[in-house]
Chains A and B, each alone.
Chain A
Amino acid sequence: MSPLVKKPQEKFKLPTKYWLMILSGVSVILMLLTFVFEIPLSPLNEIVSFTIVPLQKGVSIVGENLYTKKELMKQVNDLVNENNELLKQVNDLTRENNELQQEKYELNSLRKLLELDESYSDYPKTGARVISGSTNNWFSTFIIDKGSNQGMKVGMNVLAGGGLVGRITEVGSNWSRVLSIIDDTSNISCMVLTTHDHLMVSGNLATMENGYITFNQLSENAKDVEVGDKVVTSNISDVYLSGIQVGNISYMEHDSNHLSISGYISPSVNFEHISEVLVITKLKSDINQQ
């Protein structure tokens, strides 16, 4: 063979070292964009929308059905006993309800007089199914099966069983990510229901093992606050609607600076078994503008 004949050229491949550098650069730029400038990267969210989310929906529906069937078998006996007890309770509650109805009527008329209509039962809500748990052990986030197509927006409040679960922090076309109040990075401005003293409620990974989240910055002057008091979201929070139940104070302690009190709160939602949640489709900022 003549030495002049060229070898067929190999297909050009960029060496892995350069790929590493390029992609590292891309990630650092993405980090800067989202962390420093807080630019949302919604086009990237769509990758998850059509690859992972449909599969997660399928798996979670199958899993939930299996789980509920297993639980059903176990609980039939318990239910019969419980039913008898509950029937007794119904009688009591009906009577109580009548009284409350009367009081509510009175309350509504008084509220109208004051032009205050802020009870959160009046906010428009929509149900959603939890399709994915947290991706690792450091966060308490989960994914629900409704997104911007169904009108979800970043900042909407999420409830379950009457208590606050968290808020939406990221939205794709058919999914949203919820940051729960027990997440280590979550901070909420709250108040004690009875005395209207303000405090900060923070999620904590370490205390959540025993089922508690922490609070701090309760003023030392708040003498009437006691263990067992209800804590609700405050009216000065700019993300959370006011008056949503968060939990009960279960432990209080005076800080060493003698200015504030901190302690533990047991959340009113059981975060172990959340499968369906309610999303309030009204943002705090919209309500403030009105």
Chain B
Amino acid sequence: MKRAIINIVLIIILFILQTTVFPMLRITRIIPNVLIILVSCAGFMQGEREGLFVGFICGLLLDITTFDVFGFFTLLYMVIGYLNGLFHNLFYLKDLKIPAILIMTSDVVCCFTTYIVLFLLRSRFDIIYYFTNIILPEIVFTLLVAIFIYPVLWVIEAYVFKKKNAES
């Protein structure tokens, strides 16, 4: 119950961050994919069940506020959350390599699926342009933002839920 409430509050905060704060700051034309950080972390920190539900809610919000075909982002984010959850057993709080790799892979999968389904199928074939101008900057920016968001999620996991392997 406590976990569910904290997860929902985190989803709302990060959704606002992504849709309102980052577009307003206008550091670059590209905005980072903050929600994928949360979905990925929920998966490998809390398990596949939590990853699944966090992904489902994030995707639902994106679907409502983004475009007309309803359910695409819901499915994508849910599967990403679930797949991250499969790495739950490999996750130790002190390790930084696996979170970095998983967040990056999740964002890559998310970007390429979006490109293939929504752009390639409408005969926008210039994959190199889209890769260098949109996908690559987004991944780099997302990883930079993850440096600030990951510790917050880490603290919640380690101290609020008293994760046993915090010191291992």
Binding site for B on A (CB under 8 A): 16, 19-20, 23-24, 26-31, 33-35, 41, 44-45, 47-48, 51-52, 55-56, 59-60, 63-64, 67, 131-139, 141, 143, 169-170, 177, 179, 184-185, 205-206, 209, 272
Given the contacts A20-B78, A135-B19, A170 and B26 also touching, CB distance less than 8 Å: no
Are the C-beta atoms of B20 and A138 separated by less than 8 Å? no
Are the C-beta atoms of B24 and A16 separated by less than 8 Å? no
Restricting to B50-93, which residues have a CB under 8 Å from any CB of A? Answer: 52-53, 56, 59-62, 64-72, 74-75, 78-79, 82, 85
Are the C-beta atoms of B49 and A27 separated by less than 8 Å? no
Contact of B67 among A24, A64, A139, A143 (CB under 8 A): A139
A-B CB contact pairs (8 Å), 20 listed? A19-B52, A23-B78, A24-B79, A31-B69, A31-B72, A35-B68, A56-B16, A59-B16, A60-B20, A135-B18, A135-B62, A136-B31, A137-B138, A138-B118, A141-B67, A169-B67, A177-B65, A185-B67, A205-B119, A272-B26
Indicate the member of A23, A170, A184 with the most B CB atoms within 10 Å.
A23
Restricting to B131-166, which residues have a CB under 8 Å from any CB of A? Answer: 133-134, 138
Are the C-beta atoms of A133 and B31 separated by less than 8 Å? yes
Are the C-beta atoms of A136 and B114 separated by less than 8 Å? yes
- Rounded to whole Å, the gap between the CB of B12 and the closest CB of chain A is 6
Residues of B within 8 A of A51 (CB): 12
Bound Cα distance from A133 to B129, whole angstroms: 23
- Rounded to whole Å, the gap between the CB of B125 and the closest CB of chain A is 11
Restricting to B94-124, which residues have a CB under 8 Å from any CB of A? Answer: 114-115, 118-119, 122, 124
Question: Which residue of A is nearest B16, CB measured?
Answer: A55
Are the C-beta atoms of B68 and A34 separated by less than 8 Å? yes
- Interface of chain B, helix or strand or loop or mixed? helix
Contact of B20 among A24, A31, A59, A179 (CB under 8 A): A59
Are the C-beta atoms of B60 and A24 separated by less than 8 Å? no
Residues of A within 8 A of B69 (CB): 31, 34-35
- Rounded to whole Å, the gap between the CB of B50 and the closest CB of chain A is 9
Bound Cα distance from A205 to B64, whole angstroms: 21
Bound Cα distance from A23 to B114, whole angstroms: 20
Bound Cα distance from A23 to B53, whole angstroms: 9
Are the C-beta atoms of A27 and B61 separated by less than 8 Å? no
Given the contacts A20-B52, A133-B31, A138-B119, A30 and B61 also touching, CB distance less than 8 Å: no
Question: Which residue of A is nearest B70, CB measured?
Answer: A34
Residues of B within 8 A of A131 (CB): 20
Bound Cα distance from A16 to B23, whole angstroms: 35
Question: Which residue of B is nearest A177, CB measured?
Answer: B65
Are the C-beta atoms of A209 and B65 separated by less than 8 Å? no
- Rounded to whole Å, the gap between the CB of B30 and the closest CB of chain A is 5
Are the C-beta atoms of A23 and B12 separated by less than 8 Å? no
